[in-house]
Amino acid sequence: MGICDGRVVIVTGAGRGLGRAHALAFAAEGARVVVNDLGTGPDGTPAGTGSPAAEVVAEIGARGGTAVAHGGDVASAAGAAGLVDCALDTFGRLDTLVNNAGFLRDRMLVNLEEEDWEAVVRVHLTGHFLPLRRAAAWWRAEAKAGRTPTARVVNTSSGAGLLGSVGQGNYSAAKAAVLGLTLVSAAELARYGVQVNAIAPAARTRMTERTFAEAMAAPAAGEFDAMAPENVSPLVVWLGSADSAGVTGRVFEAEGGRITVMDGWRPGPTADKGARWTPAEAGGAALGLLAKADTPLPVYGAE
């Protein structure tokens, strides 16, 4: 018996890395898991044959768990619909959606092609929105039928979405937008029994190992592997369980053994003239306020 015993959980991008770790962790806690993965390379292009989703399903089965593979594109309406329908047709219900799928196409802004901008925003942002919309429609219907669910959504943002990251304008923008989507959906869906939270994880995956090769290196034998994806999954499983009742619209950083609640934008120093400022007055007021404000954290990769 685990904290997700009997729940049905979807994890997107679950063939490798963080998604695989989440899927295995949910199954270990008693969940029946829909393992989604399109099977692409780290940049979203086709990557050979075989199904990483099927491999994870087999791994869950070998450990005594229950799972089913789904290979659809979650950033398409048809793929997102098929994903939710897969959970409903196979297991008869859906309790938790973990939006995790994504890939990178890093470039400095002046070299960033429109195609690479759109591809990254599509998978990270639209790939969150479409499965969430489909799942929310089913949960709303359940609530209106008198069967209010204990539903959970865990979205995946990033430190790049919180602070920005040099060379990752497309990824940073998409991950920042995921935070906005999280806040809005948490407010809109609460009446239907749905809680929505986001994580900003740091771990060794295909997406990070080239960008942060030195920091992401595996430790010596016997040492705690602070960058293992499995370190992030316990928080995700808890957020996806009924035990997280009352927690919604929040953002957590998770890395190694550290969990941090992120506060987000809050009003800082304020000046109110009570009338319209001149440009010179507005500038003077702004400089005075900046002198009182906290210094912002640096963008990742900035000198």
Q: Which residues are catalytic?
A: 158, 171, 175
Range 216-224 contact pairs with CB under 8 angstroms and sequence separation of 24 or more? 224/256, 224/257
The single-letter code of the amino acid at 61 is G
Closest CA relative to residue 44, chosen from 105, 107, 128: 105
Q: What share of residues in the chain are helix, strand, coil (percent, to 5)?
A: 40, 15, 40
Residue 300 neighbours by CB distance under 10 Å? 18
* SS3 call for 79: helix
CA distance 34 to 74: 13
* Residue 229 φ/ψ, nearest 5 degrees: -55, -30
Report CA-CA distances (Å) from 218 to 85, 108, 229: 39, 28, 12
Tokens 């865990």 label which residue? 154
